[in-house]
Structure formats: structure tokens, C-alpha cells
Structure 1
């Protein structure tokens, strides 16, 4: 279903599924010219050039932000499936999660290419990437169940979610390294509680061999992250099960 959904989305475009990869590359080029060239203030990490550092972080962000928005509309857009047959509505958000993975893997390969060009090679810490990838998928499914249900109940939530993601883009460490910024320590610690930051920073540290998940402050942030996921998953599942039978009538 995820594969069919991708083809249906781009079937009227001349370049078809190529836009899944061209859009992220164009955005990366723009952000690099603005923040990596025009506004550059030194490397974000010692010995790590800005471009590979940024691409490693923006790869999960582009995937997560697009998937969050797509998953939030999944039930509203596909409610006909539930009205015409006995269909497990709860899997609709996961279709978007799987469908957007193609562009994520492509961007990840591009990130690794940039690292190799800049003489940054694989280390044992790369194995942590598997853990953070699982964190990302679980977070997206929890948000997908919650947002897709709330979107059916409150149509304004979709627009609100877009605004929230625009704000989180600058609060998730995608373009700036909080650790080397001039922000107060208290503000940095608050920003680090952002679950999107946890995934982005974790993948960065894994790929750049800059830290381990059990080290502070990662350990504290890990506990906060899983508490957030558990709460969102619990609330989202409760709302989904409560209103699932009424989705067709509500829409």
C-alpha cells in the first residue's frame, strides 16, 4: 500500500518519484548556501565541516516532518477504506511511515558519501544508528496515531501542526549546534528535551562518533524521550479506539 501510495502521489508528474529525492536535495542546497556559506560562523563541531554535519541532521528531520504531516492526514484521506470494508484503520499512519522511507535512505546514502569525501570513516559507534532509527519509527507511529485521530476530531489541528513543525525546525538543532551556541545553559537543557532533537542529535553523534547513548546528558534525555513516546502513544491509542467506529460519521 505504501508503494502504491507513492506512485499515485507522483503519477501526474513528468519526473515521477524522482521528486522524492529532488525536493530534499534542493532544500539542502538552499540551507547550505544560507547557513553554511552566507552566515557561517565556524564549524559546528571540532573537525567536522558544516555541510556533512548539516546533512546528517536534516536527513531525519525532512523525513520526520513530512511523515508527521502525512500521517496526520492518513485517516481523514483514507476513511473510505474503513467505510467500505473491514479495514484496520490503525495501520494507516504506518503506510506513510513506510512510504517515505525511500527518500530517507537516499539522503542517508548522500550523507555517508559526504562524510567519506571529508575523510570521516565508519566506527563502532555507527551501530547506535540502529537504536535511534527504531526511536524515530516508534516516535512517528505514536505521533501518527495521535495526530490522525485529533485531525478527524478537530480539523484546525492540521494547520496548527504545520505551524508547530515550522517552529520545531529551528528548535531541533537541525541548522545550529546548541552546545557551541551562546544560549544560556538552562535554555539548552530545555531545548534538548525536544524528542525530534533526541533523534537528530543521536544520529549525528552516532555517525560522527561523538558520544554514546548511556552518557550524560544523553541518558537523562533518553528517559524523557521514552516517557514522551509512552504518553503520546497511550493518549493516541485511547482516542483512536474511542472514536474509531465513528470516523466515517465525524468526517
Structure 2
């Protein structure tokens, strides 16, 4: 618990630094592109169009999903995935790619994956606003249930940071971590309710252990279904809260145990 407390305090003390570094990272990651930061929205839009064409129009003939047209159901459910996926994959290689830049500085290494993740958070907020506007055009107006997003959005951020804290340390110790996480994130994507909802109870039970399932259904409940998802499915809320806590503690222990030796592994 001491390691978790140290990492937590480092994040609190350097919250402003995380924000500034995230903004700088966002600029430099797009400065070579003609459209710049617009790609943070264009790329997800293109992927959504492909998923809708294949899974919605091609396989499901654009059928209704949970009382909602498939395109809206898909857009809301997948809106947080682009952030979580990019955040985890880039957070995994954060320390190994940035270590040499801060090796000779008195710099809190634990915030490196966090500011990399946070740099992707801006794109998520922009995409979510556009998705909500499209849903508004489709007749899905904001209600009091939409306030649930104030829980799910921070949870998506904290979950991604917690995972990245674990994987960024492993990425220094085990160079295959990046490839492992790429494969694992593909599995997590398809074993979630982003593209479909299974009728098989066994498959659905397995999906419940996937935090992406909780986020996708939570976003849909807030924007489309008008349901207090975290209350009606309180057991999932408790499970995911415990999962994030365990990931943060585990990541903190690993980070504090090895960060004085990162230079030896690089």
C-alpha cells in the first residue's frame, strides 16, 4: 500500500504537469499530418463506418439492437474504445520510449504513462460530444440519466491509467509486452458488447468480467436507454471498482520495485 500511496501523491502533486505534457504530446503526435489533430476524430469515424457496414448492414441488415437503431447503438458503445485501446497501447511503451528524455532529471516516472494516456483523453471527449450530437439529431435527447457519464468517463480514464501503469513497467522489463498487449486488446474488443450482444448465457457471463462491457453498456444506458446502469447492475460496478483498485496497487508495486533499475533494463 505504501507504493500505491507514493504513486498517488506523485499524481496529485503533478496534476498540472500531466495536463501540460498531455497537451504537448497531443500536438507533437499530429504535427506531421496535414489535417493535424483532426485525425483524432477522422480515424474513429472511418472505423465506425466500416463496423456499421460489415456488422450492422452486412450481417444484421441494420436490425434494431435493444430497441435502438444499430448505428446509434454502435457509435455510443464504441466511443470510449478508441480512447482505451490507444491509451493502453501507447501507455505500454511510454516509459521505454520516454525514459532517455528524463533519465538525468528529477522527474516522477510514474506520471509518464498517465500523461500519454491523458493526451488521448481530449480526442475521446471530442468524439463523445459529436456522438451525442448525432444521437440528438436521431431523437435521443439528454436526460437526467446522461449525468451517469460523469461517472463512466472518469472511470474510463482511471482504468486506462491503471492498466498503463502495470504494462508500462512490464514494457521495460519484458520487451514483448507491447506485442502481447496488442493481441490482448483485440481479444478484449471482441469479447465485449461493442459489436454484438450474445444470446448464449455462458458467453454473456464471460463478457461481464470484461471492464469494456461495463463501460459500453454504461455509456449506452446514459445516452440511449435512460437507465441507472451502475445501480441496476451494482455487482458489475463493484467488480470493476475492485478491478481498478487492484490494477493500480499492482502497477504501483511493480513500478516502485523496478523504477530505480529502469536504466539497467533499457
Q: Normalising by structure 1, what TM-score?
A: 0.93
Correspondence for 2:135: 115
> Is residue 2:201 matched to residue 1:201?
no
Which residues in structure 2 correspond to 1:39-54 (within 5 Å)?
A: 39-40=59-60, 42-46=63-67, 48-54=68-74
Cα deviation per residue 1:18-44 (whole Å; 9 max; x = unaligned)? 212111111111111111111125211
What is the Cα deviation at residue 196 of structure 1? Answer: 1.5
Alpha-carbon distance, 1:232 to partner: 1.2
Residues in 1 aligned to 2:158 and 2:205: alpha-carbon distance in whole angstroms: 23
Deviations 1:89-128 (A, max 9, x none): 1111111222112221221122112211211111111111
2:228 aligned counterpart, secondary structure: coil
Report deviation, 1:200.
1.6
CA distance in 2, matches of 1:237, 1:225: 18
Match of 2:84 in 1: 64
* Per-residue deviation, residues 41-72 of structure 1 (Å, max 9, x unmatched): 521111x1111111111110111101010111
> What is the CA–CA distance in structure 2 between the aligned matches of 1:196 and 1:109, rounded to whole Å?
20
Equivalents in 2 of 1:182, 1:197: separation in Å?
Answer: 15
* Count, aligned residues: 245
Aligned to 1:22: 42
- C-alpha root-mean-square deviation of aligned residues, in Å? 1.4
1:7 equivalenced with 2:27 (yes/no): yes
How far does residue 164 in structure 1 lie from its aligned partner after superposition? 0.6
Q: CA deviation at 1:214?
A: 4.6
Moved more, 4-13 or 154-163: 4-13
Per-residue deviation, 1:137 = 1.4
Conserved 8 A contact 1:138-1:229? yes
Asked if structure 2 preserves the Cα contact closer than 8 Å seen for 1:71 and 1:148, the reply is yes
Alignment counterpart, residue 186 of structure 1, candidates 190, 202, 208: 202
Equivalent in 166, 175, 179 of residue 195 of structure 2: 175
